[in-house]
Amino acid sequence: MAGKLRAGDKIVVASHNAGKVREIEALLAPLGIETIAASDLGLAEPEETGATFAENAVIKAVAAAEAANMPALADDSGLEVEALGGAPGIHSARWAGESKNFRRAMARIARELAEAGVVSNEPNRANFTCVLAIAWPLERVHLFEGKVFGHLVWPPRGDYGFGYDPIFVADDHEETFGEMEPAQKHAISHRAKAFEQFVAEIVEGRQ
């Protein structure tokens, strides 16, 4: 039986990524669920040793739930580029290096595509994937996955969002995620899709 959350409950957002924390808080606020970020509780960032988004989401959610003795919601996500065999994938954050330089990470994608000699008049297909994990202390973890498909553009466009948003255009759209107002991105993103399932299953009164 899945644990449940209801308005007034408080959970830890098990992420040290400010962009993600902001998006998750914006998704939870209308449900009346209060949040505190792992970094505001001074929780250490666990090492992401998993081989999949799901494994890493579980590592982060369980570590935060046990350290804080509260329910914890983690998000593991990334950009998968078809012509790069799904890279950077679970290494999306790591491609930005210690300094979290996403201009450099986006340039690496452009460079690796050029080096791979991808000769195509078609835009490069890519998708964002998000796996959400909700954990209660000493209980089972529940997972929800969302994907958004689209293509890459170069050079990057737009200052909204975070990470790889300026080079990703979702199918049936022309603006990059970096050019979209947050509410527009929230309506179609991988995170929003995973979140919809999380709400349907976990949030009391939303079934």
Token pair 């998006």 in the structure block, residue: 23
Beta strands in the chain (DSSP E): 10-13, 34-37, 72-81, 125-135, 141-152, 168-170
Q: How far is the CB of 1 from ligand IMP (least distance, A)?
A: 28
- In whole angstroms, what separates CA 118 from the centre of its chain? 27
Q: Could you say whether residue 127 binds ligand IMP (CB under 6 A)?
A: no
Q: Exactly one of 73, 81, 93, 167 binds ligand IMP (CB under 6 A); which one?
A: 93
List, edge to edge, every strand of the sheet that includes 34-37: 34-37, 10-13, 72-81, 125-135, 141-152, 168-170
How many helices (H) and strands (E) would you count in the chain? Answer: 5, 6
Q: How far is the CB of 198 from ligand IMP (least distance, A)?
A: 16
Q: Could you say whether residue 17 binds ligand IMP (CB under 6 A)?
A: yes
Cα distance between residue 185 and residue 107, in whole Å: 23
Q: Exactly one of 161, 167, 170, 195 binds ligand IMP (CB under 6 A); which one?
A: 161
Contact range with ligand IMP by CB under 6 A, out of 36-44, 74-82, 110-118, 136-144: 74-82
* Complex with ligand IMP: residue 7 or 101, whichever CB lies closer: 101
Helix (H) or strand (E) holding 58: helix 53-68
Instruction: Please say if 76 is a catalytic residue.
Output: yes
Query: Rg (Cα) of the chain, in Å, rounded?
Result: 17
Residue with the CB atom nearest ligand IMP in the bound state:
163
Q: Could you say whether residue 92 binds ligand IMP (CB under 6 A)?
A: yes
Cα distance between residue 145 and residue 53, in whole Å: 9
Q: Could you say whether residue 179 binds ligand IMP (CB under 6 A)?
A: no
* Complex with ligand IMP: residue 9 or 175, whichever CB lies closer: 175
Contact range with ligand IMP by CB under 6 A, out of 37-45, 61-69, 76-84, 112-120: 76-84
Chain contacts with ligand IMP (rule: CB under 6 A): 17, 48, 76-79, 92-93, 128, 161-165, 177, 189, 191
Q: Give the residue numbers marked as catalytic.
A: 76
